[in-house]
Each structure stands twice: as C-alpha cells, then as structure tokens.
Copies of this chain bind each other. A is one copy, B any other.
Amino acid sequence: MALKVYVDRMSPPSRAVLLFCKVNGIEFEEILLDILKNKHTTPEYKEINPMYKLPTIVDGEFKLFESHAILIYLSCAFLGVPSHWYPSDLSKRSKLHSVLDWHHTNLHRGLGGLLFNTILGQLKGLPLNAEAAKEGEKLLVKSLTKLENFWLKDGRFLVGSFQPSIADISLVCGIMQLELLSKKDHDRILSPYKKVLQWIEDTKSVTAPHFDEVHGILFKVQKRIRERKETQSGITEMKAKL
C-alpha cells in the first residue's frame, strides 16, 4: 500500500512534505483537502488526524502529523533518501533540530500572524486584525534578520551546510507564502535580505522542477488576489473562482 499524503497545497507545511517526496522519488498518493472548503474538518479526517490539521501521512497502519516530524520520518523510513536531507552526524542533526524548533516560534509564527490577519483570514471570511498583522510582520522581519545574519552565515544552506536539508525545504516553503502579498509589500519585506533571497533561489534550483509544480496553486491564487486588488472585485467572487 502506497504512502498516503493528506495536504492542501495552499499550506506551506503541506507543500514541504509533497516537495520532499517528489524530490526523493518517494511514491505516494496525494489526497487534497481544501481548507477553505473545510474538507479537513470531516469525521472521516478526524479518524486520521484528530487535530484536523494538514499535512498528515498514513504509511500502512502508521499515522503521523506535524510536518517536521513527517520530514524526519520520511528521511529515515525510505531507502535511497540522501543523508544530507537529515544527517546522521549528531552535531549536524542537532543543529537541524535547533533551526526547526526555532522556525515554529519565530519565522512560521511571524508569517502566520501577518498573512492570516491580512490575506488568508479574508479568504476564510474572518475579520481582519491590523494590530495582529503588525505584530506578525515585526516578528517576521526579526526572523528574516536572524536567517540572514545567523542561520545562513556560514553556508549556502541552513546551519552552515553546502547541501540542502529538510529545514531548507520547510522554511523556504514557508517564506513562499509572502507571494500572496502585493508585489510592493513582498519586495519591501524581503529585498533587504540578500542571503535569504539567494538561499530561496538555491533551494528552488536544487528541487527543480518539483518546486514550481508544487507552488503552482500559490501563484494562481496570487494572480487572483492581485487582480482583485486592481479591480476591487469582492472576496466572495474570488473565492468562487478558486
């Protein structure tokens, strides 16, 4: 029985897991659950993941959620995954755990705070919260500064590495969510971080052509959002189009 991967490609952790499988030639069945349409809150999915979150994998009888845990599992469970994705050397592996933990409470939280309280909350029909968006952007900018000056200080990839790891995939898929902002806001936030920009390009390049394929839906939604802003068409209309 092939590995089952439950995802919504609009969610960065879902894209990270998909991308990792594709890059490493892991066979899987992709099950798309549209969060906007609440397809992740059904009783059937509750049996698979009682947290109602995405992504989740089911490998035979084994169920697992939380994308970092999934990426580590896949690195270890599937033969043929090159060791640079999740090194066995204790020091390197520990630094990888450190940046993945940092991601949760810094970069991921900042991105979520900014995007959920601007674009994504709006797609779900929730009221916007300018104060929370501002707080999110503050944490995001602080996190980008740490990426630039610390995590990317010594290598082409995270934690001083010259080969990509699961952390590069996870964090870059997160930052890609900024594509949903207007071009002006996207560039205002990201352009001061030259190493970060180069690292995003390097991660895209080592995971090509899968990176663009997995991010296709993101760019479709980006186009709709930017068009809407220009034409001032309503959010309901945009949702109907998706």
Q: A72-B97, A73-B90 are in contact. Are A102 and B51 (CB under 8 A)?
A: yes
Interface size, A (range): 20 to 34
| CB of A154 closer than 8 Å to a CB of B | no
Q: Tell me whether A50 and B150 are in contact in the complex, defined as CB-CB below 8 angstroms, given that A76-B90, A90-B73 are known contacts.
A: yes
Contact with B along A193-222 (1 / 0, CB 8 A): 000000000000000000000000000000
Does A187 make an interface contact (CB < 8 A)? Answer: no
Report how many copies the assembly holds.
2
User: Contacts of A108 on B, CB cut-off 8 Å?
Assistant: 105
Q: Does A95 sit at the interface, judged by CB under 8 A?
A: yes
- A102 near B66: Cβ-Cβ < 8 Å: yes
Does the CB pair A69–B51 fall under 8 Å?
Answer: no
Whether A51 contacts B146 by the Cβ 8 Å rule is yes
Whether a CB of chain B sits under 8 angstroms from the CB of A98 is yes
Cβ of A85 within 8 Å of any chain B Cβ, yes or no, is no
Complex Cα distance, B57 from A108, in Å, reads 24
Q: Does A236 contact B (CB under 8 A)?
A: no
Interface residue? A6 (CB, 8 A):
no
Any chain B CB within 8 A of the CB of A1?
Answer: no
* Alpha-carbon distance A149/B46, docked complex (angstroms): 13
Give CA–CA (A73, B97) in the complex, Å: 9
Q: Give the B-binding residues of A (Cβ under 8 A).
A: 50-51, 62, 64-69, 72-73, 76-77, 90-91, 94-95, 97-98, 100-102, 104-105, 108-109, 146, 149-150
Check A97 against B76 for contact (C-beta < 8 Å): no
A91 touches B62 (CB 8 A): yes
Chain B contacts for A91, CB-based, 8 A: 62
Q: Which residues of B contact A100 (CB under 8 A)?
A: 69
Residue of A62, A69, A90, A150 with highest tally of chain B CB at under 10 A: A69
Write the chain B residue with the least CB distance to A112: B105
In the assembled complex, 23 residue pairs joining A and B whose CB atoms fall closer than 8 Å, in A order, are A50-B146, A50-B149, A50-B150, A51-B102, A62-B91, A64-B94, A64-B98, A65-B98, A66-B102, A67-B101, A68-B97, A69-B94, A69-B95, A69-B97, A69-B98, A69-B100, A72-B94, A72-B97, A73-B90, A73-B94, A73-B97, A76-B90, A101-B104
